[in-house]
Amino acid sequence: MSKRSKQRLKSGAKKSKNQRRTQKHLIQTLFKNAHDAIALIDDRLYFVDMNLAACDLLGLPRQKLKGQPLSTFIAGQFPRQPKEEGSFPPGQSLMGELLVSSSAQIRKEVEYTLTPNILPHFHLLLLRDISQPKESMQAELRQQQQRVELFSEVTLKIRQSLQLKEILHTTVTEVQRILQADRVLIYHVLPDGTGKTISEAVLPDYPTLMDLEFPQEVFPEEYQQLYAQGRVRAIANVHDPAAGLADCLVEFVDQFHIKAKLIVPIVQTLNAHSQNQLWGLLIAHQCKSDRHWVDFELELMQQLADQISIALSQAQLLEHLEEIVEVRTAELQDVNRNLQQEINVRMQAEAALRQSEEQLRLITNALPVLIAYVDEKQQYRFNNQAYHDWLGQSPGEIYGCHLRQVWGEDCYQKMQVYVEKTLSGQAVNYENDIILKDGSWRSVDVTYIPDVDDQKTVKGFFALSSDISDRKAIERMKDEFISVISHELRTPLTSLHSALKILATGRLGTLSDEGQQMLGIADDSTVRLVRLVNNVLDLQRIESGKVIIECQACNAANLMIQAAEAMQAMAQQHEVTLVKQPQDISVWADADYILQALTNLLSNAIKFSSPFSTVWLTVEQEEGSSNQNSPTEVVFRVRDEGQGIPADQLERIFERFQQVDSSDSRKKGGTGLGLTICRKIIEQHNGKIWAESNPGCGSTFAFTLPLTENRTNADLPT
Ligand code: ADP
């Protein structure tokens, strides 16, 4: 080795020796001054050496602690005993927590770190006292818990109040109590920037600021904007220049002996799009002394200001709801009033209806006729008292009963056809015979009038039946009398007529011209008298029901031809042209009687026509009233160009012995019974007959007959 190399080696060894010394010194200093307890223990867990912090922790001086087993100071077992003495797992630090008792029996929670075998069979134990931080953390937690409880208690109190005024009062009172502040107030800022104190809790020693308005210079608009953005002011000493209060503001607060103040804004968000609006300020004052406001106090004030803001929104919502409820209540009251009015009107209407029903019943009960209303199911819905008097059934008993139940099967059979006709919409009139409760028979004239609503639906019908038994009896007597007289007259009249004819031949002697003339007059009168008697007898026979109308299918053309032929001679005599327009239509009729009606009408037409005029006989198929789509009846018409008939006489001439001119019977040789007989014949066929006229221009007499194919039960002879 060269000298140089030896020197280099020597200086290197010196250097590393120095380094080691330095390191040792560093470790010793660290070991000595470390805050954490550091000890060297052997394989048996006996203390070999330790620092000052370890002596403090375990409560013994270093000399006494050396050689002591670790187990003396720890509660329970050391968590990790070496598997066998001297063999901790290599290169692995053990960590955990232990409960250590000092020699003075002071227990402490420590965190340990054991680094095994830092020297062979020697291990480094590091103990850190963690009882202190744990306690302070627990104290902190307890305090937080108390604050949360306090806050929820105050919040609950605030929420329990529904009235805003009460909420504000509770807030200032509670804040004043919790913060032990000298004054707590709420200052309400109006939209125009002005405002005033609206709630306050203040100790009796200090003046009240209730209703006080902050002057504009101490509470300018820019402050309001800052507060609206959420500014919070915590001032420990208003006179401290660091607080930065304007002189005017310091002067203002001095008036009220305010030394410290804490201000938090009460901000409202009106809706999602609008900006925050400053509603007011929650302010705490300390007047006795300066005050350093702590975080908790600031937090409490802010949270309560938020609660007020929520309460405000709720109050506004409530106010809005109350408005809606008020409007709705007013509407409902209106509806109620209207309903009440409607009910009153209805009650009045019902009372009026009841009254008019009673009156109607009173009137109908006083009438000696049967009055009823029958519904579309043929059930009685109204009857007058006469039903009780006649049939022995009270209106109450009859109400709801079917016609068949009330009248019995036989009687119902007779009325059924008319009831059905009425329910199809036609008014009907017929005569019937009924048996009363005492067993006596009565003839009644019955009228049914259909009850048709706006939709043309038949809902029922009104029935009126009047007793015509007396009239019938008189008519029968009169008819019998006329019949007897007519029969009695016919025989002598026939002999008289024959005698006059013989006298006229001159076989019994020649008569003077005057005598011949008188004979002519007597013959004419006899012919007229014979016709009258025959007509009276015809009418009487038809009305008495002795005539049997035997309907069958007849050809209208044949009837017309026969009638025209029968009247041809008379037409020639009166120099009248008779024109017929026959058609092959099958009608349901008794040919003899229809011929009688046709010849009667033709005879009248010829009689009342001037010479050289024309009389027409026509026939047509037409739609009846019951069926609008297809023809159901046949109309015969006899038209002339004669003198015509005044409008007011058109219906009257169908009554017995009625003539337009009373001299007609003499001049035209009429009896005034021809049209009456015609009407009876046509009605027996269920047809109608009527006259139309244009006075001076002529008349038309028309009648209907059923078509054979359309005949109904009602058209059949009864
Ligand atoms: P009469 O036997 O009197 O003709 P009717 O009953 O047949 O009896 O007629 C009654 C009255 O009706 C007649 O007297 C007449 O005044 C009037 N009359 C009937 N047919 C016609 C007619 N075609 N033209 C004008 N008047 C008529």
DSSP 709: G
Our mutation pick for probing the ligand 1 site, out of 659, 665, 681, counting the most ligand atoms within 8 A of Cβ, is 659
Taken in order 391, 396, 399, 404, the sign of the CA dihedral is: negative
Instruction: Give me the mean pLDDT over the 11-24 stretch.
Output: 74
**Residue 379 per-residue DSSP state:** B
Q: Is the CB of 599 under 6 A from ligand 1?
A: no
Contacts 24+ apart (CB under 8 A), 206-215: 206/182, 206/256, 206/257, 206/285, 206/287, 207/256, 207/257, 209/183, 209/185, 209/256, 210/185, 214/187, 214/252, 215/248, 215/252
Residue of the nearest CA to atom 19 in ligand 1? 604
Mean pLDDT of the 234-260 span: 91
Going by the DSSP 8-state scheme, the letter that residue 214 receives in this structure is P
Q: Which amino acid is at 642?
A: G
Protein residue whose Cα sits closest to atom 21 of ligand 1 = 604
CA of 627 to the centre of ligand 1 (A): 33
Q: Read off the pLDDT of residues 58-106 as tens digits, 9 standing for 90 and up.
A: 999 999 999 999 988 987 777 655 555 556 666 678 888 888 888 888 8
Cα(554)–Cα(445) distance, integer angstroms: 32
Question: Which residue puts its alpha carbon closest to atom 13 of ligand 1?
Answer: 659
Closest CA to 269 of 231, 300, 228, 232: 228
Among the residue ranges 57-66, 481-490, 578-587, the one predicted with the least confidence is: 481-490
Q: How far is Cα 699 from Cα 704, in angstroms, rounded to an integer?
A: 17
Cα distance between residue 126 and residue 54, in whole Å: 9
Instruction: Evaluate: CB of 689 within 6 angstroms of ligand 1.
Output: no
- How much of the chain exceeds pLDDT 70, in percent? 92
Residue to probe by mutation, ligand 1, list 675, 678, 681, most atoms within 8 Å of CB? 675
| Position 226 pLDDT exceeds 50 | yes
Does the beta carbon of 659 lie inside 6 Å of ligand 1? yes
> Which residues neighbour 428 within 8 Å (Cβ) at sequence distance 6 or greater?
418, 421, 422, 446, 447, 448
364 Cβ neighbours under 8 A, 6+ residues apart? 371, 384, 385
Going by CA atoms, what residue is nearest to atom 9 of ligand 1?
Answer: 672
Q: Whose CA is nearest to atom 20 of ligand 1?
A: 604
pLDDT of 406 reads 92
Q: How many CB atoms lie within 10 A of CB 427?
A: 12
What pLDDT score does 611 carry?
95
C-beta of 589 in contact with ligand 1 (< 6 A): no
Mind listing the pLDDT tens digit for each residue in 270-287? 666 667 889 999 999 999
Residues 6+ apart with CB under 8 A from 466: 368, 369, 370, 444, 445
**Number of H-type helices and E-type strands within the chain:** 18, 22
What is the pLDDT at residue 668? 67
Q: Is 121 exposed, middle or buried (0-12, 13-18, 19+ CB in 10 A)?
A: middle
Residue 638: CB within 6 Å of ligand 1? no
Q: Is the pLDDT of residue 111 over 80?
A: yes
C-alpha span between 255 and 695 (Å, rounded): 122
How far is residue 635's CA from residue 685's CA, in Å, rounded to a whole number?
A: 13
Residue with tokens 């006649």: 390
Summarize pLDDT for 621-642 with one digit per residue, the tens: 987 655 456 677 999 999 999 9
**Residue type for 118, please?**
I
Q: Is 428 in the pocket of ligand 1 (CB under 6 A)?
A: no
Q: Ligand 1 center to residue 613 CA distance, Å?
A: 17
pLDDT for the residue 162: 66
Q: How far is the CA of 572 from the centre of ligand 1 (A)?
A: 20
- Mean pLDDT, to the nearest integer, of 603-613? 95
Distance from Cα 715 to the centre of ligand 1, integer Å: 28
Question: Contact, 197 vs 212, CB < 8 A?
Answer: yes
Contact 437, 390 (CB under 8 A): yes
Does residue 642 line the site of ligand 1, with CB under 6 A? yes
Q: Is the pLDDT assigned to residue 710 strictly greater than 70?
A: yes
Atom of ligand 1 at shortest range from CA of 640: 23
608 lines ligand 1 (CB under 6 A): yes
- What are the tens digits of pLDDT across the range 436-476? 888 888 999 999 999 999 999 999 999 999 999 998 888 78
Substitution candidate for ligand 1 out of 596, 660, 697 with most atoms within 8 A of CB: 660
Q: Which tops the pLDDT comparison, 515 or 375?
A: 375
Average pLDDT over every residue of 562-570: 95
> Does the C-beta of 74 come closer than 6 Å to ligand 1?
no
Pocket test for ligand 1, best of 527, 599, 604 (most atoms within 8 A of CB): 604
Task: Flag the least confident range among 19-33, 390-404, 420-434, 686-700.
Answer: 19-33
Q: How far is residue 161 from each of residues 38, 100, 168, 305, 562, measured CA to CA in Å?
A: 62, 54, 9, 16, 113
Q: Is 660 in the pocket of ligand 1 (CB under 6 A)?
A: yes
Tens digits of residue pLDDT in 186-209: 999 998 889 999 999 999 999 999
**Does the pLDDT value for residue 136 go beyond 90?**
no
Backbone angles phi, psi at 424, to 5 degrees: -90, 0
Q: Identify which of 535, 601, 639, 664 to mutate to test ligand 1's pocket (most ligand atoms within 8 A of the CB).
A: 664
Closest residue by Cα to atom 14, ligand 1, is 659
* Mean pLDDT confidence for 252-277: 86
Give every CB contact of residue 51 below 8 A, 6+ residues apart in sequence. Answer: 31, 32, 33, 34, 37, 38, 39
- pLDDT at position 716 is 45
Say if residue 717's pLDDT is above 60. Answer: no
Confidence of residue 552 (pLDDT cuts 50, 70, 90): very high
Whether 554 lines ligand 1, by a CB cut-off of 6 Å, is: no
Ligand 1 centroid, distance to 565 Cα (angstroms): 21
Among protein residues, the one whose CA lies closest to atom 18 of ligand 1: 604
Mean pLDDT of the chain: 87
With a cut of 90, say whether residue 13 has pLDDT above it: no
Confidence of residue 435 (pLDDT cuts 50, 70, 90): confident
Q: Is the CB of 602 under 6 A from ligand 1?
A: no
pLDDT at residue 217, as a whole number: 87
Q: Is the dihedral of CA 423, 424, 429, 435 positive or negative?
A: negative
